[in-house]
Amino acid sequence: MPKRAYVYPRMLAGAALLVSILAALWLTLTNTTFPVFLLAFWLPVVIAAIPVMTVHGKPFRFVCRICAALLLALAVVGEFFGLSLHLPAALILVIAGAVDPGRVPGRARVAAIAGGLVSVMAVVGFAAATYRSVLSPPDAFIVHTTSKFIDWEEPYRSIVEGDGSGIGYGARGVSVGGGRPGEGPTLHVHFRKDLSTEERERLRRHLLELPEIRDVRLCNRRSQEC
């Protein structure tokens, strides 16, 4: 009867799958333009899942190496789609395929520790990136202006001071972008993260009182506005 794969390599394969899922999740949550890319984002996850379903020792190591090579190839070919984010999963699978406690216990132990460290760093990195990009509270107002708002003329020039000093009320920075048709420029007014709900509402009302301001709303992280 074929010998089953050892626990540590299979745990690393599971970690590689988790890392690949987190990479695909981050790509999915931050993609706002091309839904067709979703297939490309999640294809590496399907590949990373194959070693987890392989239970016998020798086939397991072979499958880990093949899947790692496939992930590496996808990362190179799919750089435009962001598939290089699956490289940590490929590295973990390489390590999982090299871990063989039955032959060289000492080297297998070192490889398992290295794979564990890579797994932890990748999971923490993707979790932090997902929170920062999608889940953390918004920290800016999107301000739409009228066509009369000329940002290089007074009194509008003082409003768009880069450090937010022309606005006050907790504003810490202003950037100017293109506006919607028939309107003036769109302002991104960033505010301090420690503003309370009341202070944030006070800033919003103050922005609405400024000359030639059409509307003010919080930025949407899912739309990459913040």
3-state SS track over 8-55:
HHHHHHHHHHHHHHHHHHHHHHHCCCCCCHHHHHHHHHHHHHHHHCCC
Residue 203 has pLDDT above 80, yes or no: yes
Residue 164 has pLDDT above 70, yes or no: yes
Kindly write down the DSSP assignment for every residue of 131-155, as one continuous string: IIIIISPP-EEEEEE-TT--TTSTT
- Comparing CA positions, the residue from 48, 46, 40 lying closest to residue 79 is 40
Mean pLDDT of 76-99: 91
pLDDT exceeding 70 applies to what percent of the chain? Answer: 94
Q: What angle do CA 206, 207, 209 make, to 5 degrees?
A: 65
Question: Alpha-carbon Rg of the chain, whole angstroms?
Answer: 25
This prediction has a pTM of: 0.73
Predicted pLDDT of residue 177: 87
Which amino acid makes up residue 154?
E
- Comparing CA positions, the residue from 173, 184, 181 lying closest to residue 219 is 173
Mean pLDDT of 98-117: 78
Residue 66 has pLDDT above 70, yes or no: yes
Residue 191 has pLDDT above 80, yes or no: yes
Lowest mean pLDDT among 44-58, 82-96, 163-177: 163-177
- pLDDT band at residue 126 under the 50/70/90 scheme: very high
Which class is domain 140-223?
Answer: alpha beta
pLDDT exceeding 90 applies to what percent of the chain? Answer: 44
